[in-house]
């Protein structure tokens, strides 16, 4: 008996040989590295559930059953203790957190270890394919394992040790999982966020509730999905949500508050302390995607007349959760920014040296209404870990830190990848997925459109001309139209990504339209000549109706190709509009739209041309 699935349904037999029921669960005491089985749960007559002490009543067990020390009349039933969990009920087929691999997995089986005739301990959870096959039937698992081994690809066990498991559906505050266990709350906030994003929706709130307020505040800022953030906040009480937001950096809290509806946001702000509320409201007063919106009001600035000792004392007085200090800024008598010191310069200086004598005076700063992408580029240009945000009088309003700049650059990069139709998952550098089906869906969907339109044209022509085989002619020319539509959108996306300078006056719509119209004319001419060439080679008499149909379909294809190229400026304007309004747009969706429009237009015109020729 190595697995729980093999233990379940075994008969429970008392000392007289009487069958009392069948095993339906095992209870363990969680406060050990390898927990002992402490309780036996079985189903008696009429499906009545019973639980007894394993140590007290179980004599031994084997493949045929679990045998008790006493007759059924001497058995005293017990209850699950506070430090116990049931393996089948609480762990089997449940999601758990692998705190070593930083991922959420589903338990397919549970591995046990027997020591002696009646000692049984839990080793870990089987989360691989073997556990899933064994749950169906042990014979299936053995057969598949044997076949895999014969093919030279053995099916390994995938066991997560108990020490690295964290239960999700019961609070870890009530259950001590292991004396050496690394619980969910001890993970890095970014790892906790990754785990929450992997969970089923019904479990997210349960996991989030296991974190204390400071852990929750750090974890929620790492979530990438705005809707998920709003969901997590909605699941908390107003007071808990307000306390959590108050513990965050003001810029992170402002970003989260901005995702909530007005009434909810106002309620949470009013529940905060005056200082925190003011800081967040100040940031919310700036426009989206500007330096003012992403800056933090937590920075260190001292008069230039202060000395190094004053600066060190000021740093010592900062709260533990204060924003990371990269630089110390100096101000003049009017409170305006006058210089900046790195932490290294401060450390190696003499205690009585004045800050104005140590500070670098040519300070780079930005205005609060500067676009956030330009701020990130400025920081990258000067290799800054933080950049001050100042008003027109050079008074410091806040600072933008390197982590915020990286978030901006990542966001912009992901938007560019999305527009380009490339996955942001980072699986490869070409943007082409390695999964065959996904690759087909992303890049070769035009074949499906081609097939569907051909079927529709066959049906229409059969109705109008009593000859469904006429669809062969437009079917031959349609791929040209569809491929031209996809390449047109690809050109528009590349142009947008290369020329997205944010300046509306510099957008060369007219020049872009003229350029693509000329390109469309050239492509249309090539398609027309190809149609003429193929018709001449395929038909001995160019005047026969079949030749006329073939040439007409290619002429229609040439016309649609030209119209597709001329419409490219519409897609370019759509990209710029989405960028201005911070709307997500998928390059693949744009290509599909272009292909569908071209397919419908070509199909309609080709059918009309065929009907006209056949009617004549």
Residue 418: how many other CB atoms lie within 10 Å: 17
Whole-number pLDDT of residue 169? 47
CB contact at 8 A, 103 and 192: no
Q: Which helix (H) or strand (E) holds 371?
A: none
Domains and CATH numbers, the chain: 25-38+48-57+78-167 (no CATH), 188-285 (1.25.60.10), 301-401 (3.10.580.10), 442-615 (1.10.357)
Instruction: From 87, 95, 86, 89, select the one nearest 203 (Cα to Cα).
Output: 95
Query: 598: helix, coil or strand?
Result: helix
Cβ density class 485-521: b for 16+ within 10 Å, e for less:
bbebbbbbbebbeeebeeeeeebeeeebbebbeebbe
CB contact at 8 A, 475 and 482: no
Distances (CA, A) of 110 to 133, 179, 442, 518, 520: 13, 20, 39, 68, 64
Q: For residues 472 and 474, what is the distance between their CA atoms, to the nearest angstrom?
A: 6
Q: For residues 248 and 276, what is the distance between their CA atoms, to the nearest angstrom?
A: 9
Residues of the chain with pLDDT below 70 are: 1, 31-34, 96-104, 115-117, 161-187, 191, 195, 198-207, 209-210, 226, 321, 413-444, 468, 497-506, 541-543, 582-587, 616
Whole-number pLDDT of residue 260? 81
pLDDT in tens, 364-377: 999 999 988 899 98
In terms of residues, how long is the chain?
A: 616
pLDDT in tens, 106-164: 788 888 877 666 778 887 788 777 877 777 777 888 888 888 888 777 877 777 766 66
Whole-number pLDDT of residue 471? 81
Whole-number pLDDT of residue 611? 86
Whole-number pLDDT of residue 181? 38
Cβ density class 234-251: b for 16+ within 10 Å, e for less:
eebeeeebbbbbbbbbbb
| Secondary structure of 283-352 in HEC code, one letter for each residue | HHCCCCCEHHHHCECCCCEEECCCEHHHHHHHHHCCCCCCCCCCEEEEECCCCCEEEEEEHHHHHHCCCC
Token look-up 């259950």 returns: 175
CB contact at 8 A, 492 and 572: yes
Whole-number pLDDT of residue 424? 46
Handedness of CA 178, 182, 186, 191 (dihedral sign): negative
Cβ density class 431-443: b for 16+ within 10 Å, e for less:
eebeeeeeeeebb
Instruction: From 24, 83, 30, select the one nearest 52 (Cα to Cα).
Output: 24
Token look-up 């693509």 returns: 516
Pairing of strands 11-13, 65-68: parallel
Pairing of strands 120-126, 109-114: antiparallel
* Angle at which helices 238-247 and 262-270 cross, to 10°: 70
Tokens of 316: 């010592």
Instruction: From 324, 331, 303, 304, select the one nearest 391 (Cα to Cα).
Output: 331
Tokens of 366: 């930005």
Token look-up 């020329």 returns: 499
Token look-up 């042990």 returns: 138
CB contact at 8 A, 174 and 139: no
Residues 6+ apart with CB under 8 A from 36: 28, 29, 54, 55, 119, 120, 121, 122
Query: 396: helix, coil or strand?
Result: strand
The partner residues of 109 in beta bridges, in order of sequence, read 126
Residue 540: how many other CB atoms lie within 10 Å: 8
């Amino acid at each position: 008996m190595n697995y729980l699935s093999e233990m379940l349904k075994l008969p429970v037999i008392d000392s007289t040989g009487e069958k009392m029921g069948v095993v339906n669960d095992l209870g363990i005491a969680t406060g050990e590295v390898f927990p002992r089985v402490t309780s036996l749960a079985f189903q008696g007559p009429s499906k009545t559930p019973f639980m007894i002490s394993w140590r007290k009543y179980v004599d031994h067990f084997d493949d045929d059953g679990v045998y008790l020390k006493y007759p059924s009349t001497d058995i005293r039933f017990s209850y699950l203790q506070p430090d116990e969990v049931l393996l089948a009920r609480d762990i089997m087929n449940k999601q758990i957190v692998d705190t070593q691999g930083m991922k959420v997995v589903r338990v397919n089986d549970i591995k046990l270890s027997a020591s002696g005739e009646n000692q049984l301990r839990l080793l870990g959870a089987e989360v691989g394919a073997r556990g899933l096959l064994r749950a169906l039937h042990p014979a299936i698992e053995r057969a598949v394992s044997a076949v895999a081994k014969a093919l030279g690809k053995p099916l390994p066990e995938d066991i997560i040790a108990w020490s690295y498991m964290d239960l999700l559906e019961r609070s870890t505050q009530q259950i001590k999982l292991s004396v050496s266990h690394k619980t969910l709350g001890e993970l890095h906030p970014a790892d906790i966020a990754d785990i929450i994003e992997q969970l089923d929706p019904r479990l997210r709130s349960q996991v989030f509730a296991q974190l204390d307020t400071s852990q929750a505040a750090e974890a929620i800022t790492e979530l990438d999905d705005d809707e998920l953030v709003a969901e997590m906040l909605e699941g908390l009480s107003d007071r808990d949500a307000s306390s959590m937001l108050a513990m965050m950096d003001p810029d992170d809290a402002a970003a989260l508050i901005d995702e909530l509806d007005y009434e909810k946001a106002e309620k949470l702000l009013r529940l905060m302390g005056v200082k925190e509320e003011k800081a967040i409201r100040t940031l919310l007063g700036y426009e989206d995607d500007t330096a003012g919106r992403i800056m933090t009001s937590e920075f260190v600035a001292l008069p230039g007349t202060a000395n190094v000792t004053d600066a060190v004392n000021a740093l010592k007085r900062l709260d533990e959760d204060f924003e990371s200090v990269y630089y110390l800024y100096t101000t003049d008598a009017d409170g305006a920014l006058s210089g900046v010191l790195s932490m290294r310069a401060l450390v190696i200086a003499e205690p009585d040296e004045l800050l104005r004598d140590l500070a670098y005076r040519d300070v780079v700063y930005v205005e609060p209404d500067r676009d956030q992408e330009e701020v990130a580029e400025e920081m990258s240009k000067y290799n800054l870990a933080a950049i001050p945000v100042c008003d027109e009088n050079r008074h410091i309003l806040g600072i933008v830190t390197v982590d915020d700049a990286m978030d901006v650059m990542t966001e912009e990069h992901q938007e560019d990848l999305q527009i380009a139709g490339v996955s942001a998952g980072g699986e490869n550098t070409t943007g082409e997925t390695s999964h065959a089906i996904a690759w087909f869906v992303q890049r070769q969907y035009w074949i499906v459109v081609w097939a569907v339109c051909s079927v529709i044209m066959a049906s229409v022509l059969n109705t109008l001309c009593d000859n469904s085989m006429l669809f062969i002619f437009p079917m031959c020319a349609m791929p040209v139209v569809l491929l031209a539509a996809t390449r047109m959108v690809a050109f528009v996306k590349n142009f947008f990504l290369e020329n997205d300078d944010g300046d509306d006056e510099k957008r060369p719509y007219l020049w872009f339209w003229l350029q693509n119209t000329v390109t469309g004319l050239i492509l249309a001419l090539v398609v027309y000549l190809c149609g003429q060439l193929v018709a001449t080679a395929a038909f001995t008499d160019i005047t026969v109706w079949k030749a006329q149909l073939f040439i007409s379909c290619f002429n229609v294809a040439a016309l649609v190709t030209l119209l597709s190229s001329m419409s490219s400026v519409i897609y370019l304007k759509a990209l710029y509009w989405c960028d201005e309004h911070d709307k997500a747009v998928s390059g693949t969706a744009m290509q599909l739209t272009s292909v569908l429009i071209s397919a419908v237009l070509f199909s309609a015109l080709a059918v009309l041309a065929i009907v006209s020729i056949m009617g004549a």
